[in-house]
Structure formats: structure tokens, C-alpha cells
Structure 1
Amino acid sequence: MRAVVHSGTGPADILHLVDREEREPGPGEVRVRVRVSGVNPTDWKRRNGVVAAPDHEPEHDVVPNQDGAGIVDAVGEGVDDLAVGDRVWLMMSAYGRGTGTAQESTVVPSTRAIPLPDAASFDVGACLGVPAVTAHRALTMHEHGPRRLFPGALAGRNVLVAGGAGAVGHAAVQLARWADADVVVATASTPEKRALARRAGAHAAVDHGDPDAAARILDAAPAGIDIVVEVSPARNAALDAAVLADHGLVSAYGAEGGRELSLDVVTHFTRNIRYQFVLLYTLSDGALRAAAEDITAALESGALPVGVDAGLPLTRFPLDRTPDAHRAVEGGTTGKVLIDVSR
């Protein structure tokens, strides 16, 4: 089979296409024939060494890319919830294993292969994983709940999504709307990106750099924001503080704009504002399972479409151009970058 691999860390040039033998799944594992692989910032950062690999992850012949979608074609001993022929979306395929989705088949623990409803395309499945699970966690950490997402779960809550045109932001807008948040506001830096956020379902989209950004957010959500899904806490801390309601939550999942965060302590403790930092790879098994179940329910209701009309443009590459796909994500391509692995 064809696979893209790298050894050590470095620029996209270290990715190269090889032929290798398919693995058989072991106990508790499944083998998935990958149809579409999704590329996230975490993938190029792992390859480039910006983010260190876990101690137990191999350093040689690592196949990148955490996310993807395909069809189960072999099942290991003890797996009874998946069968050959099942359509699945994948999460954390490469984490700790080096068995990512930039290859024609990958072997993963069965818990990392989630049933993909028939109505959802492989493109949709490849856009889930890192973005949707991160967004789910960010939306379910408020002091007063909810802990799960479903229609009505966010009724009475106002949500602000920073970076609403990004993959996590897009998923957060869609999941918040599916869960019936009263108001969903997104921020984005250009008119084109704000239009994408509105197509995803945001009630309003605001330029975070506008001197009147706080007033514009509060015009849309006069009672204040209950949950902020935040990609740039260092840059947006003052704006978040200006629009948060009492007992509000900032769920920070990124470090765009800097790694040092400065807060006015009095402002935050007098209003019981909380910060929660979110990293997919260190979530508990229970949190991952809850996210997978809720995301699948949203898929079944048609709540997570992708494509430019749904606010998430898709940029595609063939498998042998995986280095170009990584460069595109590293260069800030708007929307989601996908790799067509097999058809």
C-alpha cells in the first residue's frame, strides 16, 4: 500500500511516499481503508517539532495526520462494536502510534474509529476529529453545564466563537446552533471570513480588531456571553472580559497571538469568570466518548455540513502531494485541507 512517512522532525520536505505492507489489526484494533485524510495545524506542528511527540510515539517512519474517514476492512480480536464494511470517522489516529491517515489503510484502536452515518460524506468525516472534539469540549465546560450536547442543551446560553472561519471555530458554531444556543457570535479578521462564519450559522460576525468590537458583540447578545471558544487568549483577553456575563467561561484551545496571557485579576474574580484550557490529547476516555457520541448524533441530524456554502471551504490534494497539503495548512489556508487517499 502507499503511505506518506517522515523520520524525525523538519519541514514538509521530509514527508515522502513509500510502499509498505499492510498491518493486521491486533486485539482491540481495526484496520480502516482510508478514503479522505484531514490535515490540522497539530499535524504540521508535530512533523515540524513545534509540538513534541509523546515519549511512546515512534520517531521513524511516522505516518502523519490525526483525522480521516474510510471503511473498516479488518477487525481484531475482541472488537464487537465495529464490523468489516462499516463507514467510520477517525480521531487521534497518529497520536502515540505514528499510524496516521496519510496512507491507504491504517490500524487504530477501535475507540478511535467512530461510526459515520450513511448520510454524512467521507469529506464530512475527515473534517471532524480534532476540530469537532475540541469544540465539543469547549462548549461543555461551563460551571453550570451542560456536560453533553443535544438539541436544547445550550438554550439560555450565549456563545462567542473566536476565529469562526477556522475548522474548530466552524465546528463550534455548528454545534452551538445544533444545541440551541440563544445567540452565537463569531469573530473573524476579514469580511470574507466573517461571511463564512455566518454561513456556518453564526447569528452575527464581528471583526475582533474593530475598536467597537465589544459593543457590536453586546448588541447581538445584550445579556453578555456565557461561553467563549477561544483560539487566541493572549490577544483577546481584554475583549473577552468586556463581553462576558457573570460566571462566564473562556475555553482556550490555542495560542495564536502569543503564549503569555495577562488578566485583570479583580475584574475576573469579582464576576466569577473561569478559564478552562482544552487539549484533545489529554482528555479523559469518558470525555472523548461523550464527544464522539454527541458529534455522531449531530451528524445524524445533518447539523455538521462542510464546503464553502456551509462556511468551511475545502482545499484538496492527492496523497502524493501531502507535503503541499501540510504547507497549505502551515500557510494559513482558510477552511479545511483534505487529502484524497483512495477512491
Structure 2
Amino acid sequence: MRAVGVTEFGGPEALHVVDVEPEPLGPGQVRLRVEAAAVNPTDTHARSGAYADRDPVKTPPWVPGMDLAGVVTEVGEGVDHLAVGDAAMGIVVPFGPHGAYREDKVLPANSVVRAPRGVDAVAASTLPMNGLTARLALDLMALAPGQVLAVTGAAGAFGGYVVQLAEADGLTVVADASQADEQLVRELGADVVVRRGDDVAERIREHFPEGVDGLADGSVQDAQVLPAVKDGGAVATVRGYRGNGQRGLRFFPTLVRRVAEDRAALDRLRQQAEDGVLTLRVARTLPMEEAAEAHRQLERGGVRGRIVLTF
């Protein structure tokens, strides 16, 4: 079985095609023939060894990837929401050789749902991980309709989904953007767009002098952007930041592994993609053999939408 992974942690050049053992299928599991896997920043961290101390598998290869889409080829006992031949998408919790960058993947059935109608595997692969992360961030903050949410990194995959889901939830959204991305962020549905940068908190306060009720910090500005949030407000972070203990701010590190088997949430995202609530954005595609180049392009920055590997 072919996969893309590393035998030694390092830069993009460490990625290469590797052989991995086929995974057995058990009850409550689904086997997919992988057609596409999205490339995310977390994949680059995994490739470089940032998560090695968390990985229960200590021997190579290590295969990155948290998003995939393809075709169901086998279903285990007790699985009734999918059938062989279904176009499907899923979220992967990678460990050792068991990431998404492989030709064949077995997953818990609750981590897999049908792909949105009318969407190919490449586009479908961009939704599961970032969509669930965005949904979890909003659920943890638990803002009420009419409250104000700030989103940093709004042109990115996570930030873009937060903007669209928050709008669907009835929140008022203020989002940051570069000049080049301002129109994109407005099209995603942000009510107010401010220029991104070190002073983004001040720019947000110009529109909302009392501060915003919540913040989804997709650009990982951490303490720098906290002045935008009113005392006692909610902050969702994506890299584990837990705040400085000041002003009663409530912090919610958003760990998508917690909801990797929340099938209802994933299926709701599917429905929202079908309904046009969510926009699936593909920046470019590359064959699996060019995964190193995909990581180089992502790490150079400026990618809007997801780079997707095809299998």
C-alpha cells in the first residue's frame, strides 16, 4: 500500500512515497479508496516532528494528513449510513503510518459521511477537519444570535469556515483581511472587515468600542489580539493558547480530535455545503508524489483555500 510520509522528521524534502501495511477492517469501521487529501498546517508540523512525543507509534514511517475524500470500498459490521460505492469524506486522527496521505484508509464509521452532492473528492477533502474545528470553536464559545464575533485569519480555511458558520448562526462578524483578501472575506459573509496587522485589536475596537463578545483567533496572534475582546469574553484558540489570566477572559483551546467521531456534526457540515452555506475552496491540486512541493507552497504562505493531494 502506497502512502506519503517521512522516515526521518525534517523539512518538505523529508516527504516521499513509502510502503505501509493495509489496515484491517473491524466492526464499526469503513474502508475508503482515497482520491484526495487536503494539506493543512498541522501536516507540516507533524512532518517536522512537532507531535512526535504524542504519537503512540515510535517507528517510521509517519504519515501526515487529517482530511480525505474518496470512495467507500468496504463497511464493517454495524455500519448502516454508508454503502460500498458511496462518495465519502472523513476526518483522520493521524498516528504513525495511519494519516490521510495514503491510497487506502480505514476509519471509524462515525468519522466518515457522504460527500456533499455535486462536489468532487478534491473539494470534499477540504471540509472535514477545518469545518469541524470551526464548528467546535463556535460551540465552545456558545455566543447567542446577535452577539459579536471577531475572526482573525479570516481568509484562511479555518477562519473562512468560522465566518460562514457564524453568519449562519446569526452572529455579527468582524473579520480581518489584507487589502488583497478584503473582497474574499466580504464574500464569505463578514459584516465588518478591518485591515489585518499588529494593530488589528485597535481596528476592531474602532467599530466595537466596548469590545467583541468572542474571538476566533485563526491567525494565532494570541495575547496581541486579546484587547479586542470585552471583559469576560470568550476566546477560541487553535494552538493550545490559554491566555494570561486577565480580565476574566474565557479561553477555549479548540482540539478537533475531541469531535473526530461526531458524525452528526460532520453530516451537518455536509448539508451546509450542499445548501451553499459553506464554500469549499481549493487553491490547487498536486499528485501525491509531489507532496513535498505542496508543503513548500503552504509554508511559503499566501495560499487561499487548500492545496490538495490527489491519489
Contact persistence 1:24–1:74 (CA under 8 A): no
Deviation at 1:22, TM superposition (A): 4.7
Taking a change above 3 Å as real, the CA distance of residues 97 and 115 of structure 1, as seen in their structure-2 partners, is farther
Match of 1:160 in 2: 150
Distance in 2, matches of 1:112 and 1:169, equals 22
Q: 1:55 to 1:18 in 2, by over 3 A?
A: closer
Q: 1:92 to 1:202 in 2, by over 3 A?
A: same
SS at match of 2:59: coil
Q: Distance in 2 between matches of 1:179 and 1:72?
A: 32
Q: Please tell me whether the aligned partners of residues 74 and 84 of structure 1 are also in contact (alpha carbons under 8 angstroms).
A: yes
Give SS of 2:307's match.
strand
**3-state SS of paired residue (1:43):** helix
Q: Which residue of 2 aligns with 1:237?
A: 223
Tell me how far 1:55 sits from its aligned partner.
3.9
Contact 1:164 1:194 in 2 (8 A): no
Shift of 1:19: 5.7
Aligned residue pairs: how many? 310
Where 2:223 maps in the other structure, the secondary structure is helix
Find the aligned partners of 1:246 and 1:105 in 2 and give their Cα distance.
49
Q: What is the alpha-carbon distance in structure 2 between the residues aligned to residue 338 and residue 250 of structure 1?
A: 30
In structure 2, relative to structure 1, the CA distance for the partners of 1:71 and 1:284 (3 Å cut) is: closer
Cα pair 2:59 2:96 within 8 Å, conserved: no
Distance between the aligned counterparts of 2:124 and 2:58, measured in 1?
A: 26
Q: CA RMSD in A?
A: 2.7
Paired position in structure 2 for 1:324: 293
**Matched position secondary structure for 2:166:** helix
Q: Is the 8 A contact 2:5 2:47 kept in 1?
A: no
Once the two structures are TM-superposed, the CA of residue 14 in structure 1 deviates from its matched residue by 2.4
What letter corresponds to residue 307 of structure 2 in structure 1? V
Does the Cα contact within 8 Å between 2:62 and 2:95 map onto a contact in 1? no
Match of 2:173 among 184, 188, 204: 184
Give the letter aligned to residue 91 of structure 1: I
Q: Which moved more, 1:34-43 or 1:246-255?
A: 246-255
Q: Is the 8 A contact 1:38 1:339 kept in 2?
A: yes
Q: Which amino acid aligns with 1:7?
A: T
Contact 1:53 1:96 in 2 (8 A): no
SS in structure 2 opposite 1:202? coil
What fraction of aligned residue pairs are identical, expressed as a percent? 32
Gap change, CA 1:53 and 1:74, over 3 Å in 2: farther
| Correspondent of 1:294 among 235, 253, 268 | 268
The residue type paired with residue 186 of structure 1 is A
Give the one of 162, 165, 185 matched to 1:172. Answer: 162
CA 1:210–1:107 in 2, change beyond 3 Å: closer, same or farther? closer
Query: How far apart are 1:218 and its partner, in Å?
Result: 4.1
2:28 corresponds to: 28
Deviations 1:270-305 (A, max 9, x none): xxx311111222x2677x345324323322322112
Q: Map Cα deviations across residues 92-121 of structure 1 (whole Å, 9 max, x no partner).
A: 25x235322222221222122122221333
Query: How big is the shift at 1:28?
Result: 2.2
**Matching residue of 2:189:** 201
